[in-house]
Structure 1
Amino acid sequence: MSPSVIGTTLLAMLAFAGNSVLCRLALSPDSSAIIDPASFSAIRLLSGAVTLLLIVLWRERRLPPMAGSWGGAAALFVYLLGFSYAYVQLDTGVGALILFGVVQLVMLFAALRAGHRLQLAEIAGLMLALVGLLLLLLPGATRPNLPGALLMALAGAGWALYSLAGRDAGAPLLATWGNFMRALPLLGLLLVVPVFLPDQPLRFNTAGVWLALASGSVTSALGYAIWYRALAGLKVTQAGVVQLSVPVLAALGGVWFVGEALSLRLILSGALVLGGIYCVLQVRERRQA
């Protein structure tokens, strides 16, 4: 990979980890911030769309035709909703590990459908990463909440589809802005969700709103535009695997900023996942050498 692709990919991974930390800070039952998942998602989506609109107007000096796609917008909305509701029940690193483990599986399936044939070392690396994910989910005292895990898996599927849609995006910034704008009509659905989840009524305080704004404007809007740029230089398997580095970054962020414990199970899972990433990337680098 070129230095520019490595740099943009690293920035995107830091933004993804930052999203997990900000969301957990806002939605943790022990947090001083008060905001419900629907309000957090709505503010995140709206602030992201406004931020991207302002950047587009500043760069283009006009309002260009909307890029992106309705499929990308729908995938983005599914990801945002599942992500927020899952983090009410999951620790930062655990949620990120489930999220990007599912992303890896979906993107791997897409690569296989496109005709990519895996080498033995790639298969070994993927199996190693999946073992790390399964280790986290095995029954035990520190096993994550099952409904939260399922919601995060749904978010992972949405994010994988959003990433795959980004591979065909011509202009990363315009495509990201277009996807956010197309997702705005779905905001009305967020007002309906609390009706079916009475234990999560609409509520928020200033701290919760600021965290949602930071997530939407910085780590989402800018992070996703950077990610779409990085995708242009990544293979599908690479794009899926590098995102498995996010749980490790998110877990460290959870320890430093949220005060969460770093369990032995999470450490072992993270080590296996990172080992699998290394195996797959080494194969890709040898092919391109």
Structure 2
Amino acid sequence: MRLFLLTSLTMLAFAANSILNRAALSSGGIGPEAFGTIRLWSGAIVLMALALIKGRGDAMRGPGRIAGVGGLLLYIYGFSAAYVALDAGLGALILFGTVQVTMFAGAIAAGERPGPARWLGAVLAFGGLAWLLWPGDETAPSLWHGGLMAAAGFGWGAYSLAGRRARDPLASTAANFVMAAPLGLLLGAVMLPGSNMTLSGGGIVLAVVSGAITSGLGYALWYSVLPRLPGTVAAVAQLTVPVIAAGGGAALLAEAPSPRFLFAALVVLGGVAVSVLPMRRG
């Protein structure tokens, strides 16, 4: 029961990142570049503090560090920029689906030979995302902002692939955040011209909460429960994140899911489930 509760809390934290980001940007109290930078620095401070407390502060070097930092920056700033226009649940679905497709492609590139079920699941997930983003009626999301979220998903997928080689995931994640934070200041400065320069107290608080709590503490909690979860359970647990984000967006931000989103969610999440659930053989 304790493991179930901790896993559920982690999924709530992941979904809350979408809700917090969307709430901050939709209110006009902060711009995406400022939100991303504050989130990145807040997460870096909390994660490095946790790593030092646990005596794991010597992980600045390690395999996959450049790819990890690059993927993290693409994720953080693509995520924030996309939520200028996307609803919370919609953004989470695009992010989650793209991460799964990216990791599937990475496995292929690394020489893995997936079975038919994984191929079918990947095709379904990719097809659902393509249909969701395809220009059509007024319910189709902004292609530009959908593309930004897909880029964020690619960044997180690349980050996750690079992190597979980490001996200590918490220390490695802390190191990636700490190394990405100064680069984030430069990237945020490049994004500033012509953007929303507003920095309200509410927007700053939401960015700090997203970085320090739902990102920093959320990732730390995830890495503490992940070794105790079977691989399929961990993958299926993440299927709940877009659903929780959509429910939170509807309840807290009055974002009603469209039929297009609901159908795409069924296809994308169903495809991921087909990929990760073991198939019974009669």
Q: Structure 2 length as normaliser, TM-score?
A: 0.86
Is 1:45 paired with 2:40?
Answer: yes
| Aligned with residue 208 of structure 1, among 180, 187, 203 | 203
Residues 167, 228 of structure 1: 8 Å contact kept: no
| Aligned with residue 163 of structure 2, among 161, 166, 179 | 166
> What is the CA–CA distance in structure 1 between the aligned matches of 2:101 and 2:270, rounded to whole Å?
16
Instruction: Say what the alpha-carbon RMSD is for the aligned residues.
Output: 2.7
Unaligned runs of 5+ in 1: none
Aligned amino acid, residue 213 of structure 2: V
Q: Percent identity?
A: 46
Cα gap change, 1:63/1:93 in structure 2, threshold over 3 Å: closer, same or farther?
Answer: closer
The structure 1 segments of at least 4 consecutive aligned residues displaced by more than 6 Å after TM superposition are 237-241
| Aligned with residue 88 of structure 1, among 67, 84, 90 | 84
Aligned amino acid, residue 66 of structure 1: M
- The count of residues paired between Structure 1 and Structure 2 equals 275
SS of residue matched to 1:46: helix
The offset of 1:170, in angstroms, is 1.4
| Aligned with residue 249 of structure 1, among 237, 244, 248 | 244
Is 1:73 paired with 2:69?
Answer: yes
Residue 154 (structure 1) aligns with: 151
Unaligned runs of 5+ in 2: none
Aligned amino acid, residue 107 of structure 1: M
> What is the CA–CA distance in structure 1 between the aligned matches of 2:276 and 2:101, rounded to whole Å?
16
Aligned amino acid, residue 145 of structure 1: S
SS of residue matched to 2:277: helix
> What is the CA–CA distance in structure 2 between the aligned matches of 1:183 and 1:194, rounded to whole Å?
18
Residue 176 (structure 2) aligns with: 179
> What is the CA–CA distance in structure 2 between the aligned matches of 1:243 and 1:258, rounded to whole Å?
22
Q: Structure 1 length as normaliser, TM-score?
A: 0.84
> What is the CA–CA distance in structure 1 between the aligned matches of 2:113 and 2:83, rounded to whole Å?
35
> What is the CA–CA distance in structure 2 between the aligned matches of 1:36 and 1:238, rounded to whole Å?
36
For 1:215-230, what aligned pairs fall within 5 Å after superposition? Answer: 215-228=210-223
Residue 129 (structure 1) aligns with: 125
Residues 122, 283 of structure 1: 8 Å contact kept: no
The offset of 1:59, in angstroms, is 2.8
> What is the CA–CA distance in structure 1 between the aligned matches of 2:150 and 2:112, rounded to whole Å?
24
> What is the CA–CA distance in structure 1 between the aligned matches of 2:41 and 2:274, rounded to whole Å?
39
The offset of 1:227, in angstroms, is 4.1
Is 1:273 paired with 2:271?
Answer: no
Residues 82, 148 of structure 2: 8 Å contact kept: yes
